[in-house]
Amino acid sequence: MEWMIIGIAGFLGGMLNAVAGGGSFITLPALIFVEVSPVSANATGAAALLPGYIVSAWRFRHDIEFPAGLNFPVIMLIAVSGGCLGAAILLMTSEQLFSVLIPWLILLATAAFIVGPRLLQKKKTSMEKFECDRETSSLRVFTTCLVLFTVCVYGGYFNGGLGIILLAALGLTGQTNLLGMNGVKNIISALITAVAVAVYAAGGTISEEHLFLLGVMAVLGGYAGAAFAYRIPHHVLRGIIVLIGCLMSAAFFFSEI
């Protein structure tokens, strides 16, 4: 029964990540349900979903458009340092504290799914009037780096909703090309998750007995999700993810009572 739950969670998590994100809304509760500790469940889920991030980054490599004033080495430094710090903070977090934080983190990620697209559209509309004004000031570059670093720390600590939060952050920095933003989002997500998983592994928090099945099923789910995405309207998929996020958050809140 335990392995069936893990297999189904991995498949559904990989499918969700392929079409719209939110795979950790499935994998994290499933791992905790089979009595993996919360911190270990978070680390194991991130490790299992890492291949999907790498594939996405490679697939969209030609669409990458970095924020004004930044290049790949700078983005890599921000992602690696932020992801490493976030993962280190997770390892220093007690199981009891992380259990209390889980419903709030899921709720935050769910809110990002709801607000993110609207924020991006509003930002895109306002920025179109000033598209010709692309000067790169030191303050703008610093602000962009600070915003991205903060999101990367979050991603290293808790992977849920990372993609949409990154897109919203890139929109706030002035980017309007969604394809270019998606390319940057994928490469940052892959870097954050890779370094975070390395830190998790060094800290011995990854559940190796669950990782293989979860990872394999996540890859299979990713392939299925890529084909599935063309058959269901995107707003329906996002609605499903928001519903799952709300239900999972409520379940964890009630479990603390």
Q: What does the pLDDT look like over 6-38, one tens digit per residue?
A: 999 999 888 877 766 678 888 988 999 998 999
Res 183: pLDDT: 81
pTM for this entry: 0.80
pLDDT at 121: 63
The pLDDT of residue 133 is: 46
Please tell me the distance from the alpha carbon of residue 31 to that of residue 246, in angstroms, as a whole number.
Answer: 18
Residue 75 has pLDDT above 50, yes or no: yes
Residues 6+ apart with CB under 8 A from 164: 21, 109, 112, 113, 116, 117
Residue 107 exposure: Cα atoms within 13 Å on the Cβ side? 10
pLDDT at position 211? 93
The token duo for 101 is 């934080």
pLDDT (0 to 100) of residue 132: 45
How close are the terminal C-alpha atoms of the chain, in Å? 27
Which pLDDT belongs to residue 63? 75
Q: Count Cα neighbours of 101 within 13 Å in the Cβ-side half-sphere.
A: 15
Confidence of residue 210 (pLDDT cuts 50, 70, 90): very high
Q: Between residues 4 and 132, which one has the greater pLDDT?
A: 4
93-141: pLDDT as tens digits: 998 898 888 889 888 888 877 776 666 566 555 555 444 444 457 888 8
For 231, the enclosing helix (H) or strand (E) is: none
Q: Find where tokens 């080495």 sit.
A: 73
Q: Can you say how many angstroms the Cα of residue 254 is from the centroid of all Cα atoms in its chain?
A: 25
CA 208 from centroid of its chain's CA atoms: 21
User: What DSSP line would sit under 106-156, residue for residue?
Assistant: HHHHHHHHHHHHHHHHHHHHHHHTTTT-----HHHHHHHHHHHHHHHHHHH
- Tokens 């970095």 belong to 66
Asked if 25 and 248 count as a contact pair (C-beta separation under 8 A), the reply is: yes
**Whole-angstrom Cα Rg for the chain:** 18
Position 217 pLDDT exceeds 80: yes
Instruction: Give the pair of three-digit tokens for residue 32.
Output: 């905790």
Residue 88 has pLDDT above 90, yes or no: yes
* CA atoms of 219 and 221, how far apart (whole Å): 5
| 173-208: pLDDT as tens digits | 777 676 777 788 888 988 999 999 999 999 999 998
236 or 126: which carries more pLDDT confidence? Answer: 236
DSSP state of 67: P
- Secondary structure of residue 176 in the 3-state scheme: coil
- d(C-alpha 47, C-alpha 64), whole Å: 24
Alpha carbon 21 to its chain's center: 7
Question: What ranges do the domains of the chain cover?
Answer: 2-256
